[in-house]
Structure 1
Amino acid sequence: MIPQHFEKCEIDHRGQRLIEEMARRRLDFILLMDPCNYYYVTGFPIGVLKGTFGALVSADGNVFWIGRKTDMSNVKALIEADWSGDRHEIGAEIADDQDPYAAVGEAIERIAPHGTRIGFELAKAVIPPRGLTQIAAALPGREVVNAAGLIEPMRAVKSAAELTYMRRSGQIAAEATRAALDGLLPGASEADLAANLIGHAIRAGAEPFSLEPFVCSGPRSALAHSTWTMAPLRPGTIINTELAPPVARYSAPLFRVSVIGPPGDDICRLHDASRAGLLAGLERIGPGMTCHDADAVVRETIARLGYARMFPVRAAYGVGINFAPDWSEENVASIRPGNQTLLEPGMCFHLVPALYQPGWVAPAAA
């Protein structure tokens, strides 16, 4: 009932890496509440967003699931699955009339003995300050520490299985974008395009989106991450589409800029500059470079063509595991100025030489 996306040996390897890193940081337990991280470590592919939910992992690799009672049906299915092994158990089922953070603290208090050191993922907004205070208050005699950034470096280099899922996501994104744009009828709106985009992606195998596709046109095309309205798609103006269809909760986003009919000269010049940055990145960025130097490859190419002021973003952001509310792995890897992280084979990025000019409206082609 709970899908198995990876061989047990791969999940076991990830678990062993976690145990080794916990030992290095002197952690007896770590509470994983970021769905991306508990999926990576355990293979549990469900992002529970309503209520409080997470996995308390011990230094010997046992996993105690703590969360809202109604969502524990998924955990029970995981425990019953042949591939999950015998290291999973339910740590606490939280009823809707309980204070969730007090209940999490009480559950950890039962599982983690006095004198233990417990790590929390404080870099993600999964526990509000009030919740962290309540959890810590329930844990006298235990040390609560920040374990942010423990799992993310492990996720940076993708395995063969992960790359397979990402390639399929990219194929679905390309197929859906092409089909949705080719199928536009006269008088179609942004909403029509979005519906076609989502429908094609789902029929091709996409799982539920963690973040809706971005679809906008005309003057709103210069507004970052703006999405569809009922506005009609007019010939000669820019249409932005971007989507990241999950496959086994992995995705390869695709951003495309289109025009109905012949584009105007200004649009063509913008396209040429963006394309030059993209091709420079694809041709010259590679393992051994720093993320800073990789960003410069794209940025300097666009600057030489006179469009530096229209390129306000980092050249690329990391991609991989995809759970709401985002599809990026910005916290795992980012090709941006000042980042001295070295690129390695198997890292995955969405290269986006997006050019923005607020308030600019492209004239229709003559």
Structure 2
Amino acid sequence: MDIGSVVQGSESAFPKSEYDGRVARARQRLAAAGLDVMVVTGPENIFYLTGQQTPGYYTFQALVLPVDGDPVFVIRQLEYFNFIANTFIADAAVYQDGEDPVGFLTKVIRDKGLAGKRVAIDKRGWFLPIAVYEALQAELGTIGDAAGIVEALRAIKSPLELEKLDYAAAYVDAGMKAGLAAVKPGATENDLVAAMMGAAIAAGSEYMGMEPLVSSGSRSGVPHGTWKRRRIEAGDPAFLEMAACHDRYHAALMRSAWLGAPPAVASDMMKACQDALAAALDEIRPGVACEVPHLACQAVIDKAGYTDAFRKRLGYSVGISFAPDWGEGAILNLNKGVKTELQPGMAFHLPPALRIYGRFTVGVSETIVVTPTGHRVLGTIDRALLQVD
């Protein structure tokens, strides 16, 4: 197919050598799992291994990665030129609108002589419909489970990946500063979000994996509520959480504000969140189990008497994300019972928040990277509850 003036790899987030190393490590893990070929359908894993990124991941795409031999990418024709610009992969199998992409994929697998091999797919991926899995199974027989093959590699970021997170953290700082500055009597929740997204994008952010979570007044007391035109009044709380993105790598941040003097219970809850975050950060270093920072956070909240208001994980891995999420919680969480040890290069968002349901929420967060000796906080925004007179 004629690619015109599109240059192979010209839009790639990383040099070819970075992907070559990732593919080699994925193949080692496939071989160790007794598998011959992996079909990758999740956009995050596809991006990690190839550099392919497109908002059009709602249409079918798949990377066929054998342990031996060249990979082949199955992609919609409209996305082919995007694929050329973003990847260094030579072999693409292009299907047209109106063709059955799953049938097309199985034909590619057969034509490559892989149908009789031990084929696996990332079964726990976001974008693997049951119908697709059943169709593959009907055509190819038993399909193995490749979940975790790529995710284990993604959990530990390379130096080049950490650079992307640093950029994203700078963008989210810019967005949060603008959002907090917009918290004024008479401003609407939309005003806050417009300021946050405008500043983050102006600073360099691309489209985020999830929208900002911004609410005010009693609306802020409902978890994961977000902007809906409400006008902020004197005495209102305002809750702000957002992420920003650089080459699909996300950093996130949460802060809280109050118009006027907050009630004592809100101040107490905010102090508990701040102390819980500090206690958790004190535990983050290589060799520590993921549950340890969570338990430290929970202990502070329990001592403050807010156990019933904190029934969630402390934090989650961050890195590559596409909608509908800005996190990598499917890879690793800081939560009770998670015994995986922290390693240098892991990155997390830690957002302890407390609320009285239907009244208000307060919280504070940081995105951090595990270093050889401890951790590094990526953000620079003051953690205090902002009081607006």
Q: TM-score, normalised by structure 1?
A: 0.91
Number of the residue aligned with 2:351 = 352
Task: Pick closer, same or farther for the CA change 1:78–1:301 going to 2, 3 Å.
Answer: closer
Secondary structure of the residue aligned to 1:158 is coil
CA distance in 2, matches of 1:191, 1:115: 55
Number of the residue aligned with 1:101 = 102
Task: Pick closer, same or farther for the CA change 1:345–1:233 going to 2, 3 Å.
Answer: same
CA distance in 2, matches of 1:259, 1:244: 21
Whether the aligned pair in 2 keeps the contact of 1:217 and 1:239 (CA below 8 Å) is yes
- Alignment length (residue pairs): 356
Number of the residue aligned with 2:265 = 266
CA distance in 2, matches of 1:32, 1:48: 16
Give deviations 1:249-300, integer Å, cap 9, x for gaps: 1011111111123323222111111111011112233221111222111100
Number of the residue aligned with 1:113 = 114
Secondary structure of the residue aligned to 1:3 is coil
Task: Pick closer, same or farther for the CA change 1:47–1:342 going to 2, 3 Å.
Answer: farther
Question: CA offset at residue 317 of structure 1?
Answer: 0.8
Question: CA offset at residue 47 of structure 1?
Answer: 5.1
Give deviations 1:112-131, integer Å, cap 9, x for gaps: 43421111010123121112
CA distance in 2, matches of 1:167, 1:240: 24
> Which blocks of at least 5 consecutive residues in structure 2 are unaligned?
1-6, 362-386
| Match of residue 20, structure 2, among 9, 12, 18 | 12
Secondary structure of the residue aligned to 1:356 is strand
* Letter of the structure 2 residue corresponding to residue 317 of structure 1: Y
The residue correspondences of 1:141-180 to structure 2 (distance < 5 A) are: 143-180=142-179
**Percent of pairs identical after alignment?**
31
* Letter of the structure 2 residue corresponding to residue 90 of structure 1: A
Secondary structure of the residue aligned to 2:353 is coil
| Match of residue 89, structure 1, among 88, 91, 97 | 91
Number of the residue aligned with 1:343 = 342
2:275 is equivalent to residue 276 of structure 1: yes
Whether the aligned pair in 2 keeps the contact of 1:313 and 1:354 (CA below 8 Å) is no
Secondary structure of the residue aligned to 2:75 is strand
The residue correspondences of 1:1-366 to structure 2 (distance < 5 A) are: 2-46=10-54, 48-60=56-68, 62-78=70-86, 84=88, 87-91=89-93, 93-139=94-140, 143-184=142-183, 186-361=185-360
- Over 6 Å off, 4+ runs: none
Secondary structure of the residue aligned to 1:320 is coil
> Which blocks of at least 5 consecutive residues in structure 1 are unaligned?
none
Question: CA offset at residue 164 of structure 1?
Answer: 1.4
CA distance in 2, matches of 1:22, 1:220: 47
Task: Pick closer, same or farther for the CA change 1:339–1:352 going to 2, 3 Å.
Answer: same
Whether the aligned pair in 2 keeps the contact of 1:105 and 1:137 (CA below 8 Å) is no
Whether the aligned pair in 2 keeps the contact of 1:216 and 1:240 (CA below 8 Å) is yes
* Letter of the structure 1 residue corresponding to residue 91 of structure 2: E
Number of the residue aligned with 2:369 = none
Question: CA offset at residue 4 of structure 1?
Answer: 2.6
CA distance in 1, matches of 2:230, 2:252: 24
Question: CA offset at residue 61 of structure 1?
Answer: 5.5
CA distance in 2, matches of 1:210, 1:149: 21
Deviation larger for 93-102 or 247-256? 93-102
